[in-house]
Structure formats: structure tokens, C-alpha cells
Structure 1
């Protein structure tokens, strides 16, 4: 089939290369996954464990196995009747080590005369004809550290090319440097002065102009060779919002592929839908992830957790400031405006340079910077795709005028250019708004807002606390109708918290008062002086417990610096960070702090496991193409990257899967084997019986505990999942029933059989908090096929 039944994501690295992937193919196939889904394969920076820093578009990374290993893997995949989906990176290249990137090296060596000057997005006039490279350390004598070695300029371990003839007279290294097409500058100048487009604020990832025909051809030749030779059946496009024309790019890529499976990593805000004119099968599933999480959150906990958040946030304000409701909208605006004025100010300044008709004097230019930053801060989605999405621009203008009426005239003057799809500033604005959204929201506001952190996930709106069961069904029906080939996911290499960390944290919505009391006790035992961050950190610890000390310290350092309040990346607060590390280390020692954490974990652990099994079964059986992130068939308690890219122990998983395949029904315990049972049974059914997954029809529950059921019929396969397990434990299922078609049914998880009609939920969910039912008397072979 052109569209897979499911995928299994593998992170390909030097330690887990393409041959290692081939070695686990039998396990992945036995698990029930259809295609394997691989992280980027092109040659990347030396030592890169993610692969998004491509340095050579023409080769499979030797460190990841090289072209022969890809061929071996593809042959084994084809023999198994499976397919391969590969992640590709059209937006940027790695430039951390220039000598490994032939395109970048040539650009540095020959400047604007380089063939590759057209490939990179450089504003040469802004650097007086030179490319600014922010690599120098602090101090006035850093240029004295330069040396000329052969035909290279060296700065410590950094190597840069010399333009021909520029060092032939024996001049000093500083003089030779001044003759180059690039200028080495202090790293702090990147925020305001950088004159090349980056990926977000990463100086070592330079933007590529893939809209140029020859750039597309040369950067995709190897990728398309994989497709045309049948080694790869589908592509996943990383960060299309960074491209000048995502729709045009997808048209060209889809045509070049010949119509293969094509996904985009697109963040959809709220009810935003993919542009209908995009040649893609759908997104990578963050939108689905957030729906799945929220249908398992208790809406009754919102008011109490809102009040707690208001109290905690008030501690960040001057003493005596009353606790007021926290506005997520305001947090987003504050975070985005800070980014536009800070680490991405160079992008805003470049926008102004593209608007000489408005920014025509130094005084006017300063006002234009201000207006552009304000407009970007209020932009409600990642970007528009002019002329599609013009209404989003109008919304941002309206909101900016409300906040800053003094900018009204400037905003009015900017609008004609920014709404014209052919204007360079309009193109650039669309590329910039997504950068600011990602850095200002996901990498800033998410770490400042601690109400219920399971909701602070990639592509999410944390102000949406919960989703009703009816709304959940509506969203699944929409997905099935609009993008049935869209991927769904629960964990990725980019998620802030693994799926089972979120599932446990979501339990706190059922016990908000208990959590508030525990948090108060924890803060008294180990105060940090940053109340919202303490709430966020303790939720991460409880959600992932027991986690190794070094993992928790790594998370705490990254989270606190991303919040950019008590400490920062560029100016770490040693006193705060030392206290934070001491807090984490103290958890490894017996005492009141560890006892308190253990107590709350014991309170929510089993409810979290129930949520996890429900979450997994819902995702694997709902509309879309479900992806299983490597290793997440057992409990996935990772935190933000790089923690979520740790090696996976497939030996343990093989052993457990063999026992399950042999008929074992594991208990719900710390091993996570019960989750493996749910995963393999659902994946196998989805792959082997696609005719059972053709629709999405709600299955209604009746009785006292009806609100604790999420149930739907996919066209033969019926999913039942528990929700709000703490409340359910108090009442039990009692007389709660669901209505099934009047024939015999079998639960593929346990093998139990039931008569149809009105069935007690307590009987259906006697073993696990979930069930996956299939009709057996309409197909006599099914009972044997699905029996454990």
C-alpha cells in the first residue's frame, strides 16, 4: 500500500546505524509495525546524533552505515513486505565545521562570486559585502588568536578557507582575516547582526534556498534516487515552514517522487488545518497527540490548578501583588516579543531592510523594527501561506494595534507590502513568524507556565485544559475526512516529555488539592525561589520517577535556561543552578524530600499506568497512521531531548514480546509489559485487518460511570478505554454498559469473548483498563487469528 498501516521510528546514529536497524527489523515486524521510519540519513556533522545538520546532500552518512548499509536494509525491508519512511531536511545545512561542508566552504572562500552564494540566504550588504560568522569569544584580543596554516585561517580548532592569493605576501593573520569574504565576530553579535538565515536561533545551521531550481535538484538528487530505486517508499519533510514557498516545494517534491507517501512536520495551532493545496498526505501528528492527551484530563481540576498557578506566578511579581488569573495569551506574547527583540532580532532587522519604502530614515527604521516585532509577537499561527492565510495577518495587525496604538500608522504602512505574496518582505515575514513562535512559545512560554505540564507539548495550546469525549470524536472524524494518511504520534525526538510522563502528570488534574499540598511541602524542603519553575520541575520529577540523577539534572538545567528567568543560556545564575542540582541530587538520599516524592508517585503511579494504556490504544486505533517511537512500546519516561534519544534495549523487548506472543497476559507493573501487549495486539490487527479501520463512529456508554469511557467503532474494530482513573477507582464501573452490535465479540488483548448487545463495561475491562474488540461470528477464522 502507498500509505502504511503504521510506522516505527528509529533514530539512526553512529552507535545505532542502518545495519543495527536491519538487525531489529524482525522484532519490529513481529511487534506488528508496518513501515520503519528513519531519522535523517544524509551525511551530517561529525558526532551528530540527530542528523538534522546535513553537510553533504550527495551521500548517505558513512557514520550511519553508508549507502551499502541502506541497500542491505531496504532489501530486508522489501523481503519482509514492509516499507521505509525517511526524514529529510530541506531548510538548512550544518556549518559548524566548514571544512566538512563543501557548499559552505566554497561560499566562505569565494564570497558573492561563489556558485553557492545563491544556495544560502545571505544579506551581503548588511555585512558590507562579508558574511558575519559569530564564533569569537569575549574579549578584545580574540583576533590575536588567529593563525594562518597553509591555505586556511585557524581560530583554535575552527578552520576557515582563505580566498586565493590573500595570504601570499606573508601578512599577519589579522590582516589576512580582513581580506576574506567573511568576518569573524563575537558570538553575542548573532542576536542583532547576523546576516544569514538560520534554523531558529542556531548559528551552526544555515538556511538553504531550496526554492532555487538547481538547489532543489542538487540537494534532493540522492534522496530521490532512494525513492526511484525502491529503497525508500516515503519522505517526512522537516520544518517546511522555514521555506520561502512550502506549497511550491511540496508540489515539486511530490511530482519528483512520483506520488509516494509524503508527510510534513507542521505545527497546527488550535483548529488550524493544513493548507488544502499542499501536495502531502498530512502532518507528523502533533495535533493528534494533543487531542489524545486532553481527552484523558479531568476538566474538574482546572479551576483549582488555575488558582494554584495564579498564586505561584504572583510570587514572580513584586511583594504584595495579588494572585490574578494567568493569561496564556499574555505569556505567549511576552515570550515571542522577547525573542523578536532578543535572539532573533537580526531577523526582524533584515525584514526592515526589505522595506525601504517604509524604513526610509534611521528614525523610521527603529519604529519599523518595533512594529514588525509587535506584529510577529501577535501572529496567531506559525505562518501564513499567502495569499492563503491573509486573515491571520489581519488578525495580528488588529491585536498589535490594540496593544500599541502608537504604532497604528506604521502598521498601516507595512500591511500592503506584507500582504503581497510577491514582495520579498512578505516572503521573509512568513519564514520569520514561525521561528519566533517556536522559540517564544515552545522554548520559552512552555517553561514559564506550570499549571499542568502534560499539556505543554509541541504544537499544543496549553490554555486548552481538556477535551470532552464528544469533541474528541468530532476531531477524529475530521481527521479521517480531511487527512486520513496523516501520522499520529505520542512521543517523538522533539517531545518535551515522553508519553507516559504526560500520562502520569495528567492524573494531577484529578487530585489538584493533594498536589497543591505536596508541592507546598516539596518547596519548603528544597526551595529555589522560583515558584512556577519549581512546580514545573517537580511535575517532571514525579512524572518520570524513578529517573537517574544525571537525567534529571540535564532536564532541570535545560528547562530553567529555556524559561530564561532565574537563569539563562548566555548568563547562567550559578547560585540558582547549584541549588537546583543539589535538590535533584538529594533525591538519591534517604530523607523527607525523597519520602515525599515517593509518596506522591505511589499515589498516582497506577492511575498513570491506566492513562498510559488508554492513551496507547486510542492512538494506535484512531484515524491516521500511528507511529510508535523507538522503545515506547514499554513505559516511555523520557524528558526533553537529548534524553528522549537514549539507546533502546531491544533484548528486553524481544524477550517480553516472545512471552506475549506465546500467550502470556502480563500484569500492569513496572516492566511495562502490559503496554507492550496493547501495542503489539493493536499494531498487528491494524496491519493485518485494514478493513476493520474504515470509519470512526462513537460508541455510547450508559450508566453511572459512563463519563469514564472513551469508545469508538472503526468499522469493525471497537476500542474501549478508561479515563479519569482516580475517580473511577472510587465508584467502580457499577452498572455502566456499552451497546455493541448483536453478534459475538472477542477482545484481541485477552482473548475473552462476549455476546453483543448491551454489555457491562466491568466485564469487558475485567483484566485491563482497555479492550480492543473484533467480531468473531462474522468471520470464523478471526477467533483463531486473534487469540493470544
Structure 2
């Protein structure tokens, strides 16, 4: 079996198609990455930049280059010695434009008589035999806007099929509509009445039942052709938690590609482990991201930032006294709001599977709100359900009888309610935590990342090493990552924000100034927004407004997606626009950014070195070899300037040691040297052994020996800048070493960090006799 040493993620779009990807293979190869990692390639909704809204499983998207371009890319990858990993989407399809999705169109036309009725997860009885489509606007006369056009029913630009023979008598559009296998309803009814499974709360992404053999076969025929023909060597499975039987799905996929590399986008909570029974090589690395960020966070800042968060939350609530903020309670309230709100239709459907347990919606919502991980995989994960039961009973003793009645059904892996509960708990977790609680909790927002637990403030160095040793032993082929198309903040935004943990009192003072200059009236959100601004500065006005609008609506407090608060949002936009103008607001932000920028850069270089050299398969998200200052999507899918990166790579390869500055070229140096060493010298990366530091600044270094390659990274750089390394040393084997970042040679034994890290805050050492030629000086 072929496994990648590292990957480089490319977002394939109409503007950067497969032929454009082929044009950067030489750059990616020279950078040092092993495999290309591509976003979804199947035909997607017109204009889709992400590709997760597949409308045709039978072909590579023509807008992304089509099958011929994939063949050309594969040929060039083979010649360059690169593999290809492709993102696939088994859980759902795009239905925003029904006429473009043949499966969905036929379902609407023929209803339960359609061949594709079995492919979609529809509760027909709940719609009285019709599929409810939440597309109508508000108002009592919206149905009057329907019109019959040929063999279609139109509503504005929306087109729907007409069942054969149902419009032949010239009846009105309203009457024709009443004869269809679908019913167009007000868009607000999606929250409560929708009767088809979606991806989370996205009405335009309909769930498919890939557990049905023919659905698997037809939705994977083209994908597996890529693998069997040798065009693609690995697959990354998007959102396996949405499937009825993720383990069974992976077994079938693995059987079809036994020699391929197979990853799952699985979010692990806390110390949760991937089910050992799954036929997969590992996860996409969010669990690793959380550890990498936290080993660089100063634990001493927690008390002050906790106090600040408590005061801000008290102000939001109008409370006279600030009390400690409970992340557990924030998660519960966020999840319960989602279960009672935009995903109530999913809970109600679950309730309909339990006719012997009357009025179970409240109890089901409570259990889901307390479920501690995304989902279980019965019989695996039964203890997680037991935890939810215990916590739900504590909070709501009035539901004890109903919960007791539910348990025989929810613990039976074969019962439809147990299957549906497992699928639903993950939806509520994602929407209630990632897309709600993360935007309500502002203590230190670099910790509010996909797959991370914001209540874990920092990871001690010893614990960091233990977790890396566990990863090496348990899942050495799992990806590791720092930035993705789903991260809430780019890696270097988080690296700068983490500096606030070293200077919490300074941040509290600056935040007070900024809030006084541009008040919004929502204290925790202001903290979150100002951290994003400081972290990404100097971001453009349009980018910051886009972030502010999304973040505030996701928080769902001062404004919402469905009922925007115009006065609040106008004030927010005005705040951002004022930042583009000379004045006290701009100068205050610029001065504080100048204060934390160099420490942030140090954190960034440390993050990159740690991620690339730590156990696992490191992925470099497109362009993040320079500073990755993106905010949440779609900001993180902006085009990448490869001309600039080629230029820097040429210069670095020729021996340039760039300064640590706004260009980010120093980060590219770290990236390329580390990637090349991992790819070309895998024998130097066979273990993870901590390298101990001694002396007054020993707490400011994290170092480890990977089996010949030794990584050394600075942590807590702001405080270090005030004290210096002094006589701090690390102990190495007694032979000469060479830092492949700078080419500098060092004697073995006791090595002074003031010398080792004189130029950069990181070093990557190898035995001098085996150092790559390009680093020799």
C-alpha cells in the first residue's frame, strides 16, 4: 500500500481548474510536498466554488476541467512522482437547481414511484405522501406566483417537474401544484416540517442513502474508476457522521480500493478515539491542530482571560455580578437551541419513529443537547449515550420516565430510531457548537477551532509529547493540519491571537479602548470581532465585513440569519469601514498589532515546523506556506498567487535566508526545508522522543527527536523577548549537527539555544554527515 508522506490541498474551481492544478505540480514538488490533495471533483451546482453540492456522480465537473483534465493532471503527477488524494461526498447531493440533478428531478416528477425514491431519505407519510420543499417566500399570495411552463412548474427562477398527465386539462398552476408529488411550502417550515434529510440545516443539500447497495454503486462508479485506473491513489470521505452506517460504508469502500489511502473527515471530541473497527487510515487532522495550537498558549493567561470573559458575558446578560463562564453550559444552550430551532424537523422525525413513546420530542432534544461527542456507532459508543442520559436526567428530572422509555430503542443498533438518533446528534453538535457556541465564547478565539475544545486552554509540553507518541502508535497515517477550507481562522491569525494569553491585561485595556471608540452593545461579540480584526490585520474592509456579518449571525444573539438586526449590523459595518480611515480607531488597532506581530510570527513558524515534523501526514493548505491570514469561509478559499511563491522558493533554494517580515518568506523557508526532509529522508522520522531543555528559559521551548531529525521550536515568545534565552540549553547526541533551515553547524552534546535560535525561532537539526546539500554553507 502506498501512503503519502505529506499532502498539499488545492481547491479546484472553475477559476482554478484541474489544468491549472497541473501547472503547479512542479512548484508543489519543489516545495517538498508528496501528494496533491484535491477538493471534490464530481459535477456540482453551477457556480459552486467548494464542490460539496454534487449533482452528477457520473463525471468530473466540466467547469473544473472534466475527465480529460483529470487524466492530464494524473499523467503529470505520475511523471513527477506525486500521488493524488481526492475529497468525496457520499452523504448528500445538491438540489438547489432541481433540473440539474437527474436523481432529484425524477424523484419530484414521480414521487414514491421514482427509481430514485430509495436513494433519498424521505419520510413520505409526514408529508401526506408528498415531499415538502421549503421555497416559498413570506406572504399569503406566494402560491399565486406559480406558473405552468410546458411540462414544468415555475416559481420565479425556480423550476420543478410536472408529473405526466397532471396538467393536460389546462388547470390552473395552483391546481396543478396540488397534483404533484411535492408541495412547495414557506421556507420557514423547514425548521419544523421538512420531511427529507439534509446536510445539517442546508435545505439545498439533500441526504442520500449510500447504505443502499445500488446507491453506493452508482454514486461511486466514477470515483472508483479513478482509483482502479491509477489516476487517483487515495480518497478523503467528507462527513461520514451523516451516514446511517459509517463503518459499513468504509468497509465497502476499502474493499473496492484495498491498496488506496482512505481518510475520514471525523471530528473527535477531547480524547475521543476513532473507532478501531473502521477501515480507514485515519482522520483529516483537526485533533492534531488543537494540540499544536495549545502547546504554544501561555497557561498563565487563563485566569485573567477567564475574568474578562465573565465580565463581558455578564454585561451581555445584564447581570450585576460576573460569574465564571461554563463552556459546558454554552454548548448545552447552543445545542438545545438548534434542536428546538433549525433542526427541530430532524428531532420530530426521530419522534415519529417512536410511536410507543408519546411526546418524546423534548426528551430527545435534551439527550441530543447533552450528547458529549458528535455521535456513537452502536454498539461502539454506548457509554456516550449513558453520559447523555445521566446529564439529561440531572437537568430535567421531569423527563426521567420518557428517557427510560426511550432507552430500549436508542440502544438497539438495529432499530431505525437508534440509527436516526446517531445521525441527528452529529448535526446538532456541528450547528450548536461549531456554528453557534464558537461565536458566543470570546475568551481566546484561537482556541475556537473545528475539532477543538475551547475549554482546554493550553497543553503542557509533557502532555503534548504524550499525545504525539499516542498518535504515532495509534494512527501514524492520519493527516495533520493547521488550515483547511473549514477552519474558522487561518493558522497565522490564530498564532497571533494566541499571543494575547501572554499579555491578557494589555488586551483587556486595549479592548476597552476599542469598545469605547466603536461600541456595538454586545460585549462578548465585540471581543470576538476585535480579536479577528487584530489577528488578520491588515485585512480588507470587504473581508472584515463579510466575517463580521457571518460571525454575528452565527452567534444568533444580536442578529440572526433569518431576522437580521439592521441597526446592529449597520453599526458593525460602520465600525469596520472606520478602520480603513486614518483616525484614533485605526491607530489603536495598528499600534496593538505592532505590539504582538513579531510574537505572532514566532508562533507561526513554530506551528508550521511542529505540524510538518510531528507524527502523522502533514497537509499544507493551498498558499499557507506564506502567512495564512484568512478568516472563515468563503474567505479561506481566495485565489493563491503562485507567482510570488515560485519566486520566493527559487530564492530560498538558491540559499536566501529571508528575514521574518510581512512577506512570509521565512515561513516558506521552514515549510520547504521540513517538507523536503520528511519526503526525502523518511528514516529520520520513525519515533517521537522528547528533547529536554535546561536553564532559566526551559519553559520556552518544545523540542523532540523524530528518529534522527530534531525539531526545536520557541513557545511563549513575548515573555522570552524580555528575558532572552540566557544559559538555556538542550541535550543532543554527541556528534555534530546541522540546522537545515540555516545551514549552521553545531557541536553535539549541550547546545545553547541562544546560538541555535539566533536567526529564527525554530531549528530543524539532522546529523551533519547526512544534511541535504542545499543547506550546506
* TM-score scaled by length of structure 2: 1.00
CA separation in 1, counterparts of 2:315 and 2:759?
46
* 1:740 alignment partner, one of 732, 736, 743: 732
CA separation in 2, counterparts of 1:785 and 1:579?
54
Deviation at 1:787, TM superposition (A): 3.0
What residue is the counterpart of 2:350 in the other structure?
351
Do the aligned residues in 2 keep the contact of 1:746 with 1:783 (CA within 8 Å)?
no
Cα distance per residue 1:108-130 (max 9 Å; x no partner): 00000111000000000000000
CA separation in 2, counterparts of 1:784 and 1:593?
50
What residue is the counterpart of 1:236 in the other structure?
236
Corresponding residue SS for 2:568 = helix
Q: How does 1:175-186 map to 2 (within 5 A)?
A: 175-186=175-186
CA separation in 1, counterparts of 2:83 and 2:63?
23
Corresponding residue SS for 2:392 = helix
Q: How does 1:52-63 map to 2 (within 5 A)?
A: 52-63=52-63
Deviation at 1:786, TM superposition (A): 4.0
Q: How does 1:531-550 map to 2 (within 5 A)?
A: 531-550=523-542
What residue is the counterpart of 1:459 in the other structure?
451
CA separation in 1, counterparts of 2:450 and 2:380?
24
2:749 matched to 1:750?
A: no
Cα distance per residue 1:413-448 (max 9 Å; x no partner): 001100000000000000000000000000000000
CA separation in 2, counterparts of 1:115 and 1:694?
52
* 1:668 alignment partner, one of 660, 674, 677: 660
Corresponding residue SS for 1:315 = helix
For structure 2, the 5+ residue unaligned runs are none
Do the aligned residues in 1 keep the contact of 2:655 with 2:775 (CA within 8 Å)?
no
2:773 matched to 1:784?
A: yes
CA separation in 2, counterparts of 1:51 and 1:783?
40
Corresponding residue SS for 2:316 = coil
CA RMSD of aligned residues (A): 0.7
Corresponding residue SS for 1:58 = strand
CA separation in 1, counterparts of 2:731 and 2:609?
20
* 2:508 alignment partner, one of 516, 530, 545: 516
Corresponding residue SS for 2:593 = helix
CA separation in 2, counterparts of 1:564 and 1:768?
43
Q: How does 1:648-659 map to 2 (within 5 A)?
A: 648-659=640-651
Deviation at 1:2, TM superposition (A): 1.0
What residue is the counterpart of 2:71 in the other structure?
71
CA separation in 1, counterparts of 2:691 and 2:214?
53
What residue is the counterpart of 2:143 in the other structure?
143
Do the aligned residues in 1 keep the contact of 2:742 with 2:775 (CA within 8 Å)?
no
CA separation in 2, counterparts of 1:13 and 1:317?
44
Corresponding residue SS for 2:519 = coil
What residue is the counterpart of 2:707 in the other structure?
715
Cα distance per residue 1:723-743 (max 9 Å; x no partner): 000110111000000000110
CA separation in 2, counterparts of 1:172 and 1:352?
37
Do the aligned residues in 2 keep the contact of 1:126 with 1:195 (CA within 8 Å)?
yes
Cα distance per residue 1:759-780 (max 9 Å; x no partner): 1011111110000000023x4x
Corresponding residue SS for 1:443 = helix
Deviation at 1:317, TM superposition (A): 1.4
What residue is the counterpart of 2:225 in the other structure?
225
CA separation in 1, counterparts of 2:776 and 2:282?
34
What residue is the counterpart of 2:132 in the other structure?
132
Corresponding residue SS for 2:317 = coil
Cα distance per residue 1:526-575 (max 9 Å; x no partner): 00000000000000000000000000000000000000000000000000
What residue is the counterpart of 2:93 in the other structure?
93
CA separation in 2, counterparts of 1:444 and 1:400?
21
Corresponding residue SS for 2:165 = coil
What residue is the counterpart of 1:362 in the other structure?
none
Corresponding residue SS for 1:626 = strand
What residue is the counterpart of 1:114 in the other structure?
114
CA separation in 2, counterparts of 1:201 and 1:664?
50
CA separation in 2, counterparts of 1:425 and 1:84?
39
Do the aligned residues in 2 keep the contact of 1:289 with 1:488 (CA within 8 Å)?
yes
Do the aligned residues in 1 keep the contact of 2:653 with 2:774 (CA within 8 Å)?
no
Residues 783 and 162 (structure 1), Cα distance of their counterparts in 2 relative to 1, 3 Å cut = closer
CA separation in 2, counterparts of 1:713 and 1:142?
67
* 2:720 alignment partner, one of 702, 722, 728: 728
CA separation in 2, counterparts of 1:352 and 1:672?
54
2:369 matched to 1:377?
A: yes
Do the aligned residues in 2 keep the contact of 1:498 with 1:636 (CA within 8 Å)?
yes
Q: How does 1:547-562 map to 2 (within 5 A)?
A: 547-562=539-554
